[in-house]
């Protein structure tokens, strides 16, 4: 393939990348991306293992690979971390209009400390919508977060697997996001985690399972639509929403989710985090039409029967918890009302029974 821009996708091999799991391909990858950026082009990665780290992704490029990884298998076009002192594998802080499609990002069995897979740290220099698209991509085995988005504005994560990272699956202090049809699996933190301001995010159709802390954790955020997800065997709560010290946290809809076997980790046993859901000081929130069930590990014979509590809530305002089912929903209490509510709180017509044994 000619290295000059011809309107066709560039091939990273033409820029000196080997993909042989031996050569450091970082400079070759950056050369290909920078050339592609000149004409808003894409770079194709043939199947192979490309060793790299701290790859700086420019504006207006696409990263495309051969997508044949499996749930438990690597495969296809692999970008593999080769520096235990790196900050990340892909640095997308100043990228705009970026697509990452069909790649496998390998953290190399969590080498180093606090290294992220896809990393954005602050608002881009153009101060405009990032318009990231992460699609059909697996991000696995990083010592930090799989996807770390601080200051992102407009992004989509779709049909991807973000798994077995030592931090969170997706860490977000961002807005205008769509997180749809993904696996967020087996991360040491939460499946989705926001420690600070985040807003305007839709989370639909995800399988969020076996994460060591929460399935979804939101610490003061607004305008979340959490609909139709399956959240299974979280170490702590399936969903935890906490106003914290923010002026407000509101406009959240939680509906049509199945939340199963939360509170699996013994260290949370009999605490409020041994629950399917915690709502602390939330405002303007709807929790309607969800299904909560308890259980043990797969096969039903090992692991603790959890959770102890179904929904734990306090200091609510203009919030509805209604028409949820909790058949065998928890071991101790289905609804743990800690009180101190303000105006307009409705809790009614939630049916179920306590799990036995």
Rounded distance between C-alpha atoms, residue 276 and residue 305, angstroms: 13
Tens of pLDDT, residue by residue over 59-81, are 999 999 999 999 999 999 999 99
Other beta carbons within 10 angstroms of residue 168's beta carbon come to 29
User: In 10 A of CB 229, how many CB atoms?
Assistant: 28
Does the pLDDT value for residue 141 go beyond 80? yes
pLDDT at 295 (0 to 100): 98
Q: 41 near 76, Cβ under 8 Å?
A: no
Report yes or no: 177 and 222 within 8 Å, Cβ to Cβ: no
Q: How far is CA 105 from the centre of its chain?
A: 15
Q: Tell me the per-residue pLDDT of 266-281, one tens digit each, with 9 for 90 and over.
A: 999 999 999 999 999 9
State the average pLDDT over residues 300-311: 96
Report pLDDT for 92: 98
Question: Quick one: CA dihedral 254, 153, 283, 354, positive or negative?
Answer: positive
Would you call 96 helix, strand, or coil by DSSP?
coil
Residue 196 pLDDT: 83
Residue 357's pLDDT is 72
DSSP per residue over 9-26, as a string? PEEGGGGT---EEEEE-H
Say which residue the tokens 């087996």 belong to.
186
Residues 273-293 as b or e (16 or more Cβ within 10 Å = b): bbbbbbbbbbbbbbbeebbbb
**What phi and psi values does residue 265 have, to the nearest 5 degrees?**
-80, 130
Average pLDDT of the segment spanning 228-250: 87
* Torsion region of 217: left, alpha or beta (phi above 0 gives left; psi -120 to 50 gives alpha): beta
Band the pLDDT of 327: cuts 50, 70, 90: very high
For residue 30, count CB atoms less than 10 angstroms from its CB and return exposed for 0-12, middle for 13-18, buried for 19 or more.
middle
CA dihedral angle for residue 86, residue 91, residue 93, residue 98, rounded to 10 degrees: -170
pLDDT at 246 over 70: no
137 pLDDT tier (thresholds 50, 70, 90): very high
Neighbouring residues of 267: CB distance < 8 A, sequence distance ≥ 6 = none
Instruction: Note the pTM of the prediction, 2 decimals.
Output: 0.96
């Amino acid at each position: 393939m000619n290295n000059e821009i011809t309107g066709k996708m560039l091939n990273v091999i033409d820029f000196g990348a080997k993909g042989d799991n031996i050569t450091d391909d970082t400079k070759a990858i950056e050369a290909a991306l920078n050339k592609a950026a000149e004409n808003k082009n894409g770079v194709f990665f043939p199947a192979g293992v490309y060793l790299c780290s701290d790859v700086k992704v420019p504006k207006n490029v696409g990263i495309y690979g051969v997508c044949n990884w499996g749930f438990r298998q690597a495969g296809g076009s692999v970008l593999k971390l080769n520096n235990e002192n790196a900050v990340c594998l892909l640095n997308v802080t100043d990228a705009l209009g970026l697509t990452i499609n069909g790649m496998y990002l390998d953290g190399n069995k969590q080498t180093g400390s606090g290294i992220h897979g896809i990393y954005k740290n602050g608002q881009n220099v153009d101060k405009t919508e990032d318009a990231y698209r992460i699609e059909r991509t697996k991000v696995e085995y990083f010592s930090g977060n799989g996807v770390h988005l601080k200051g992102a504005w407009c992004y989509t994560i779709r049909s991807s697997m973000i798994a077995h990272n030592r931090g969170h699956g997706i860490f977000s202090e961002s807005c205008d996001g769509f997180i749809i049809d993904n696996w967020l699996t087996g991360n040491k933190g939460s499946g989705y985690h926001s420690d600070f301001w985040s807003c305007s995010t839709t989370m639909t159709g995800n399988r969020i399972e076996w994460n060591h802390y929460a399935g979804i954790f939101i610490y003061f955020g607004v305008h979340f639509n959490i609909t139709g997800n399956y959240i299974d065997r979280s170490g702590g709560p399936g969903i935890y929403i906490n106003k914290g010290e923010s002026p407000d946290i509101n406009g959240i809809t939680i509906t049509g989710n199945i939340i199963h076997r939360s509170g699996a980790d013994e260290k949370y046993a009999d605490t409020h985090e041994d629950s399917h859901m915690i709502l602390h000081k939330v405002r303007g929130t709807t929790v309607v039409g969800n299904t909560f069930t308890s259980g043990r590990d797969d096969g039903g014979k090992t692991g603790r029967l959890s959770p102890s509590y179904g929904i734990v809530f306090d200091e609510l305002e203009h919030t509805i918890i209604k028409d949820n089912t909790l058949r065998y929903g928890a071991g101790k209490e289905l609804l743990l009302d800690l009180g101190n509510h303000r105006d307009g709180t409705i809790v009614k017509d939630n049916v179920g029974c306590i799990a036995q044994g």
